Structure 1
Amino acid sequence: MSVNFSQLFKEKSKFLDIKVILVIAVLIICLVITKLWSVAPQLSARDFLPLNTSFFYEWTSQKSLTDNLPPQLIIFDDQLPMEKADFLRQNLGDLFDNLQEAIWFKVAGSEEDNYLVKFSKLSSKSFKNWHEKHPEVIYYQPSDNILMLTDSVELINSIKGKIIGHFTVNHLSKGINIYWQLNQPPDFLYNFSSFLAYSSENPEIFMNIQSVGQKQNKVNLFQINNQPLDIEQNVLFKIPSDFDLAIGFNASSTESLSNFLNKNLLIPIYDGLPYYNLSNQKISQYFLGDNIIFQDDDGWLMINQEDYQQKTLDLADSFEVQEINKVLPDGTAYTELIASQEQTIVEHEFADQKYWQIDGLFGIQLENYYYLSNRQYLIEDLITSDKKINNLWADCLDNSSYRVRDFIFWPTDKLPDIPIKAYLEENNLQSLDIFSYYNSAITGLQWCF
C-alpha cells in the first residue's frame, strides 16, 4: 500500500491554516473586547447629579457611610446626615452589602430628599428581590450598577438618558464630600457657613472631610474659579530646621481672607504672647504682605524676595540718630532725632557663608530669597538646614498641582489661651496647620491635624 505524502502534506497544511485563522480571529475578538472595555466610562453616582443640584452630601465608600466621624472632625451638626445614612442602610436591604458610593442631594426649589447609590455589582436577581420588598420606592437606573431613589418623576425625566458630569472638578474619592450654596446653606451647615467669607458672585462651595489613620485628619474647603488662573510652581527655598511656628501670607490673597485671619487669628494670638514685640500695624504690614515668618521662642525669622537691609530701620530696637533742627509754624524751635541712613553693617561668616548684622538684626541672601532675624542662631541654623518650604505641607496637600498661597503652622502648646486652643486640646490635636492653595481650576483652604 502506497502513501501519497504530497496529498497528506496538503491536507495537513489546510488544517494548520484553519487553526492559524481561528487563533487570529480569537486574538482580534479579544483585542476588540479589551478596547471596548478600556474606553467604557467608569461612571460614578455623582455623574448623574442634576445641573440644578443645590446641595449634596456624598459618602465615597460604604465605610464612610457606616463609620461615624471622629469627634475632632465633627465641625457641624452631623445628626441629620447620620439619619440619612440610617435611611439608606434600612431601605437598601441586601443591596447594601455591595454599596460603593451614596449621595443624598436636593435640587433648587425643592426640599425633597433624593439619593444616588452605586454598587460594586447589581445583579438582576438581587435587584428584583429588593424591588419586590420595596414596591413603593420610585427609582431610576441610569447605569447598570447605579440607582436613583426619589419621589420626583419630574426629576427622573430631567436626567433620563443623560450623563450629566457636572460635579467632576477636583472631586476627591475618599471620605465625605459636601456641596452647598453659602447664601442658602442647609440647616445643619448654617452655623459653620456663617464663619466662611464668600463673594456673591460665587456662593458655591465644596468640602471634603477625611480621616487618614489616627494621627491625620483633613478638612478641605474649595471653590471653582470663575476664570482659569495662571499658576506658578511652588518655589522651594530653605527654612530653619527647628522652630515653634510658621506663618506665610501672599499679598495677592483676597482681602476678605486676609481680614478674617488677621482679626480672628493673628492679632488675638500675638496679643497674648508674652514676647510680643510687633504692633498690629506691623502685623498687617509684614505678616499679611509677601512675607513668611518663623518663630522660635522669642526669636523670629522673616523671608521675602526683597532686600531687608532697606527695612531694618522699621524693626531695629535702636539705631544711630542724627539731630535735625526744625521750627514749628508758631516760630518755636525744636530738635528732631531721626535714624541715620548710614547704619554700621557688620559682616559675619558661618559654614563658608557670609551674613550681615545691623544693630540687633541679622540678614542673609540665599539664592533669590532674603532672610532677616532678631536672633543670630536662627540665621546660622538656616545656613546648615536641609529643609525646604514644602516640608511644611508635604503630609497635608496631596495634589502636586496645588500652589500654596498662605499657611499657618502652629503647635497647640505654643498657642496662647484663645478659643481655638481649647478646641485643639479637647480633641487632642497637636497643631493647627492651615494652607490656602490654588491651581488653574480651584481655590481652596485645607486644614490638617
Structure 2
Amino acid sequence: MTNTTDQFAEFADVSATTLLRFATAGSVDDGKSTLVGRLLHDSKSVLTDQLEAVEAASIKRGQEAPDLALLTDGLRAEREQGITIDVAYRYFATARRRFILADTPGHVQYTRNMVTGASTAELAVVLVDARNGVVEQTRRHAAVAALLRVPHVVLAVNKMDLVDYQEPVFAAIAEEFTTYASELGVPEITAIPISALAGDNVVEPSANMDWYGGPTVLEHLETVPVSHDLTACHARFPVQYVIRPQTAEHPDYRGYAGQIAAGAFRVGEQITVLPSGKTTTISGIDALGESVDIAWAPQSVTIRLTDDIDISRGDLLAPVGDAPATSQDVEATVCHVADQPLAVGQRVLLKHTTRTVKAIVKEIPSRLTLDDLSQHPNPGQLVANDIGRVVVRTAEPLALDAYADSRRTGSFLLIDPADGTTLAAGMAGESFATAKAVAVVEDEEGWDF
C-alpha cells in the first residue's frame, strides 16, 4: 500500500496557490465580456487564430479596433445583439496562478445563469458602469454572491474614461456598494477603478488614475488568498456506484465508487453510512488502480468497507462523530431559475449530490426584496430569478450539511418530475423538523410522505 500522507500535504499546498475560480457579473453593457477579453489579451492568453477571428468579426461590424468582448461572446445570437446570453467559461494562466473564469449574463432574465457561473467560484467580479452607479441588477448580483457564499467580491467600476477618471465618482460608487454588500454578509470587498476598453487597471496600472494606489484586477486575482485546506473540511463521500467485478482474482470484491465531495478519508477510519446510520470501518481505498491509505477531495476513488452493509447510489459516507443529521424536512434559500413558477403544494424532485428523491413544497415563507433587503412574507410562489425561503418535505431522509459549512453538500436542486427541468438552486439551512410538526401529505399518485 502506498503511503500518501506527504502527497496529500503537498497537494493541499499546491492547490491553494495555483488555481482560482472566479465569475464576472454586472448589468447589460457594463463591459463584462470586454473585461474578460482584456484580461485574456493583455495576459497573452489568446491564441493567434483566436485573435485573427476576433479582428475579422470586428471589421465586419465596422469597428476599427478588435472587439475583445468577442473572445467570450461565442454564440451567434450574442455577437449579433452585443450581449452575453450563456455562461462563457474560459481557462487561462499566468506565471503566478491558473484561472477558471465564468463570464455570466447581465440581463435580469438571465440572472439564473449567474447562479450557475458563481456556484463554484471563490471570487466574483461585479462590474458597474461609472456613469450609472449601483443599479438594481448590481444589488441582485451582490445578493447572489452573498447567498452562494462567494468569499471574495471585486467591485470593478468600469468606463472610468467616460467620466474623465474622476476619483469622487469612483469613491461614491465604492462606498454605496460596500455598504450594501456588507449588509448582505459579503466578507471581503475590493473596489478597483478600471476602463476595460482602454486597459486601465486591468492588467497594467493606469497612468490616468494616479490617485489610485491599489492593485490592478489581474494583480488582485493573482494574489487574493484562496483557501483549499482540505484537511479542515467535513469529510463527505456520496456513493455514485457499487462495484462488484465478480472476477476469479477478486471473487468477493465490493467497492463503493464516487468522487469525494469534501475532506479526506483514511484506511482504518470509522465511518457512518447515511441515511441508515450504520457504522463500519474503511478497509481499503483504491485510486487509479492502486491501493492508497488516504484520499481527498475532489479525487474519484473506490472505498472498501470491513462490513457487508446494504449501501446503494445516493448514500453518504461520513466520519463517525462528524456526520450531518438526517431529516425529511428541508428549510432553505433558493434562487428560482425556471420560467414556470414554484408554488406551495407543488410536487418536485430534490437532487442532493448523487441522491434524488420525491418532495413537496410545503411552504414559501418569504421572498427577498432586493431594494431594501426586506422579506416579503408568504408570497405563495416564486417566479424566474426570485430569491426566497422554502420549506420542502422529502419522501426519504436526506443528509444535508448547512450551506454555510459546505457549499458542495449543503446545496441541492429542485427539479420538475414531469420533464426534468431544473426549477431552483437551493442552499440548505436549519431543518424545520425540530421546530414544528409537519402534516402528512397524501395523494393517489404515490407521493405519500
Q: TM > 0.5 between the two?
A: no
Larger radius of gyration: 1
Q: From the two aligned structures, give the one with the greater strand fraction.
A: 2
- The higher-RCO structure (CA 8 Å, 6+ apart) is 1
- TM-score range for the pair, normalised by the shorter chain length: under 0.3
Task: Normalising by structure 2, report the TM-score.
Answer: 0.25
